[in-house]
Structure 1
Amino acid sequence: MMHPTLTISAINLEDYMLPCLNKQLLGIDCPGCGLQRSVDLLLHGEFVAAFQMYPAIYPILMLLAFLVTSSFTTIKYSQKIKMALVVMTAGTIIISYILKMNNLFN
């Protein structure tokens, strides 16, 4: 007797990405532009391309992983670690956005 095979089709996330209102209204990228595509690249195993698309992807993931972990366990110096990760994430977003805009207008 033959068993039915299970087929799993990959969902193309690009079909569900939200447009950037800042880019549509003002014509310039916002500090979050590229995040959705970066996540899509990560899910496809394109780790370097994900970083190139949105450099803050890895600090964001570290922050999210810490927040999830710290909600289930007690971590010594949790508040200090959380603040350091928030500052690192925000700094990466701001610096990469400034560099992106600088390259755009030069």
Structure 2
Amino acid sequence: MKRLALQLEDYMLPCMWKKNFGIDCLGCGMQRSFNFLLQGEFIAALHMYPAIYTLIIMFAYLILHLKFKFKYGHRVILSLFSINISIIVINFIIKTF
């Protein structure tokens, strides 16, 4: 798995926002964080992009909800979305200042 992760580093997309304006965007670090997950570096992934785990949970739940149509699935997805947005914005503010 580490070999795959090392190969993925060659195909990571550059952040055009950071390239043009010199500051991180709201998604900066997500690719590297996912790469850390593939390498088994779970703490490093959390430090790189704190919303990585909640995003994975949200997308996994979304896929399950599309398959099984949970009764209150839309509320859970909306809650997870709100939590993710909060984590991403707070992380952006902390990194920026």
Q: TM-score range by the shorter chain?
A: over 0.9
> Equivalent residue for 1:29?
24
> Equivalent residue for 2:3?
10
Q: Name which structure has the greater RCO, CA cutoff 8 Å, separation 6+.
A: 2
- Provide TM-score, normalisation by structure 2: 0.92
Moved over 4 A (4+): none
In structure 2, stretches of 5+ residues that fail to align are none
State the Cα deviation string for residues 15-46 of structure 1 (Å, max 9, x = none). Answer: 00000000110111101000000000000111
Q: Whole-Å Cα distance in 2 between the matches of residues 9 and 62 of structure 1? A: 23
Bigger Rg, structure 1 or 2: 1
Give the structure with the higher percent helix: 2
1:9 deviates by 8.7
Give aligned pairs, total.
95
Aligned partner of residue 88 in structure 2, secondary structure: helix
1:59 deviates by 1.1
> Equivalent residue for 2:59?
64
Residues 2 and 38, structure 2, Cα contact 8 Å, conserved in 1: no
Q: Whole-Å Cα distance in 2 between the matches of residues 49 and 93 of structure 1? A: 17
Give aligned-pair identity as a percent: 43
Find out whether 1:100 has 2:95 as its counterpart: yes
In structure 1, stretches of 5+ residues that fail to align are 1-7
Q: Whole-Å Cα distance in 2 between the matches of residues 78 and 13 of structure 1? A: 33
